[in-house]
Structure 1
Amino acid sequence: MPVRHLTVGIVAVKRKLSNPWVDFEWLPEAVLPGLPEVPPGTRIGAEGTVERWYLGPVELTLHSGETSHYRDNLASGRPSVWVALRESQEGGWGVAGATIDPYEGEAFVDVVTDKVEAVPMPHEVAVELQAFIDAHHVDQPFYKRKRDRKDPNAEPDFGIGHPALAERGKRS
């Protein structure tokens, strides 16, 4: 089964909150099609109480068996990369995962402590994704399963514990 790997960079925003229990909120903001020249964990900008941080690289893995999911993502009108951020035990935030499979991205929200966002997919990643779909997608024909027809002459099967079964056992 063909697999392709794409390495992208993740940018997150850190916002100051006016909350008595939480000082800051971290959220994924962007996916970079390449890797910048700065090391992971670098603050790359600030505007008022909002800071932008480059959190580091992450690998997107494309599987040929999931091409219909990728096609759904591209056809959605807003192709996205789902990014999950997780707080470390030291209090810093990092990338827990990233995917371009919308159904896998939906499953990311099952971890309630992670911050998950669908961020816009860069054009360069969309082009690579479309090339992968074109090379490996195979349409699966729809197959409607038919029920087995019941034999009208067969004895009824009532299952274990049914009163009719108990009566049948007494006659033997």
Structure 2
Amino acid sequence: MPAARSADWQLLREEDGASEFHAATLPLELHRADAEAYMHGLTAEPPCVYVVMRESDDADRPLEMTLVTASPYEAQDYADSGEELVEKVPMPSGLVAWVREFALAHFKEEEFKKRRRDKRTVGEAEDGIGDPRIAQLTDVYRSPALVKKGRLQ
């Protein structure tokens, strides 16, 4: 509920044995670095915010409201942890416009660049971790093949 006052599990209504509560009022913060995630989230039908919650030991407040985010990527990270519950809530049209305006102002599409492999052979560069400049009786890291050929002493 945009612009809602503070609430702590305030009962809004009861119908047919179901109760609807205003559990908490949390700020929705937008960050420039997440503009791509917001753009992706706005393409969903309908666009949503994600409420992150944790279970509580208090019977009167069964869930602790932790975070509200417009980033589906951040919401997925919390969902993957398994410690939090993540609920999808449709955005009101005014909030959609606000998030879209912010995302368009800060989103910069990066051009895809295909990586090229190095032409050098990695296996020839290093043959074991032992330092050949230090005389040792044994070195567990030195390659046995080099010792047999007499290249190292």
Looking at structure 2, the residues matched to 139 and 155 of structure 1 have their Cα atoms a distance apart, in angstroms, of 37
Q: Say whether residues 1:35 and 2:4 are aligned partners.
A: yes
Determine whether 1:132 maps to 2:102.
yes
State, as a whole percentage, how many aligned pairs show the same letter. 26
**Higher RCO (CA 8 Å, separation ≥ 6 residues):** 1
Q: Aligned residue for 1:75?
A: 43
Under a length normalisation based on structure 2, what TM-score does the superposition of the two structures give? 0.75
| Structure 2, gaps ≥5 residues long | 129-141
TM-score normalized with structure 1 length: 0.68
Higher strand proportion:
1
Contact 1:85–1:96 at 8 Å: present in 2 too? yes
2:146 is equivalent to residue 165 of structure 1: yes
- What stretches of structure 1 of length at least 5 have no aligned partner? 1-31
2:57 alignment counterpart: 89
1:103 equivalent in alignment to 2:69: no
Aligned 8 A contact 1:158 1:164 in 2: no
Larger Rg over CA atoms: 2
- Structure 1 residues 157 and 99, CA gap change in structure 2 (3 angstroms): same
Deviates more, 1:134-143 or 1:112-121: 112-121
Question: What residue number does 1:7 align with?
Answer: none
**Alpha-carbon distance in structure 1 between the residues aligned to 2:72 and 2:123:** 49
- Rounded to whole Å, the distance in 2 between the matches of 1:89 and 1:147 is 54
Q: Deviations over 1:17-38 (max 9, x none)?
A: xxxxxxxxxxxxxxx12215x8
The whole-number CA distance in structure 1 between the counterparts of 2:89 and 2:49 is 5
**Count of aligned positions:** 137
User: CA RMSD for the aligned pairs?
Assistant: 2.6
1:53 to 2:34 alignment: no
Secondary structure of the corresponding residue to residue 11 of structure 2: strand
Query: SS where residue 56 of structure 1 aligns?
Result: coil
CA gap of 1:155–1:41, structure 2 versus 1, over 3 A, is closer
* Contact 2:37 2:73 (8 Å CA) reproduced: yes
